[in-house]
Amino acid sequence: MAAKKSKSRILLVDDHPIVRHGLTEMINHEKDLMVCGTAEDLRKALEQITALKPDLVVVDISLKGSNGIELLKNIKVRYPKMLVLMLSMHDEALYAVRALRAGAPGYIMKQEATKKVLTAIRQVLAGEIYLSEKMEKKMMQQLAGGRAGRTGSPIEDLSDRELEVFGLIGQGHGTRQIAEELHLSIKTIESHRAHIKEKLNLKNATELLQHAIQSREA
């Protein structure tokens, strides 16, 4: 009699309890998957990886006091073979390439249907890369045009946190709203906005908003 195949063990890292609960319920419903633990920040996530040794870590871009890209880089330094799937509300046009470059073989938007999230999890577990069809097409066009890797856009020079703030500006979020979303002070967000304007050579808040919206639509 064949041995029963064990379930793939998944660690969820997200700073929203409701999201963690919803994902846990969804994943634990599957015959081949199970959530072995959850975390809301970088420190706890690294502790859980050490203690639980999951098969896959699902990481949100926005985390308390840090961000998912920073956690991803930490994971890859400590556990080079650990599989990571980025799951985020942030536009993949801004983040997907950066996430892949940092070592994540998959990126999926939270807005995607349940079936696609599960497909992304299984695809990454199988050693494959997962991106949306739209993002795959965009990257293939860049490869065909000899523009793989860095795009030459000044946006490439933004830090991971600045890119996160830039993405939220593009979604129409104000300074106070962004501060609450990222668990940072208003003063810190204002500082990030100033650095973004400087790096992108933008004169004022109106130009910053327009540029952030255009980047989402690109």
Say how far apart CA 164 and CA 182 lie, in whole Å. Answer: 9
Residues 111 and 158 in one domain: no
Residues 186 and 106 in one domain: no
56 domain residue, yes or no? yes
Say how far apart CA 37 and CA 60 lie, in whole Å. Answer: 15
- First-last CA distance in the chain: 55
Reading the chain (218 residues) residue by residue, the pLDDT tens digits are 445 578 999 999 998 899 899 999 999 999 999 999 999 999 999 999 999 999 999 999 888 777 888 899 999 999 999 999 998 877 677 778 888 888 999 999 888 888 899 999 999 999 999 988 878 777 777 667 655 555 557 787 888 888 888 888 888 889 999 998 888 899 999 999 999 999 999 989 888 988 888 776 55
148 domain residue, yes or no? no
* pTM of the predicted model as reported, rounded to 2 decimal places: 0.74
Q: Quote the domain boundaries for residue 201.
A: 154-217
Instruction: Report the number of distinct structural domains present in the chain.
Output: 2
